[in-house]
Amino acid sequence: MSTPLSSRWTPFYKFIVPSLVFGGMGYGAWLAYVHPERQKLPPGIGPDYAWLTVVAIAGLVGVILWWALAALKHVELDNDELIVSNYRTEIRVPLAAVEKISGASLSNPPRYTITFAEPTEFGRRITFLAPMRWTLIRLGEPDEVVELRGAWDAARHASAERR
């Protein structure tokens, strides 16, 4: 039986948030294009170009979203293997192949990055969101990440003993 390490909210952040943001930006650009006279703009920007400002901001937001959300993976721990999925492809990677587990970011849910010794189908690094905690102050790591680190240590020690 596998233990989910990723937040249940991962599909929401990976698929729904970008759709909502780009839908809102697209609507804002359309509204600025169709009704330029309604726009309250800073001096120096003519109302005929308000939609271009929204499109430029959408491009910047798109780059940030791509960097932050597109790389997210769904990760599960199955004995001495990680099951990693991008919601289309699923791979299994032995825990002994993990080189480093780094995180957590200041986000909630916290982002963790797993670096592998050798490249996988998803590259050398994967990023996942650990389960969210409903608290203002995050003390310690989520239980799932503590379990991952413990299993990783056990896999490294077992691998070292085999050598």
Can you give the residue ranges of every domain in the chain? 7-70, 74-162
- pLDDT digit string (tens) for 77-106? 998 999 999 999 999 999 999 999 998 667
- pLDDT digit string (tens) for 11-24? 999 999 999 998 99
Give residue 36's identity as a one-letter amino acid code: P
Which whole-number Å values give the CA distances from 141 to 27, 53, 58, 102, 161, in the listed order?
39, 41, 34, 11, 28
pTM score: 0.82
- Residue spans of the chain under pLDDT 70: 104-105, 135-138, 163
The hierarchical CATH code for the domain 74-162 is 2.30.29.30
Residue 51 to residue 70: CA distance in whole angstroms: 26
Cβ atoms of 96 and 117 within 8 Å: the answer is: no
Cβ atoms of 151 and 76 within 8 Å: the answer is: no
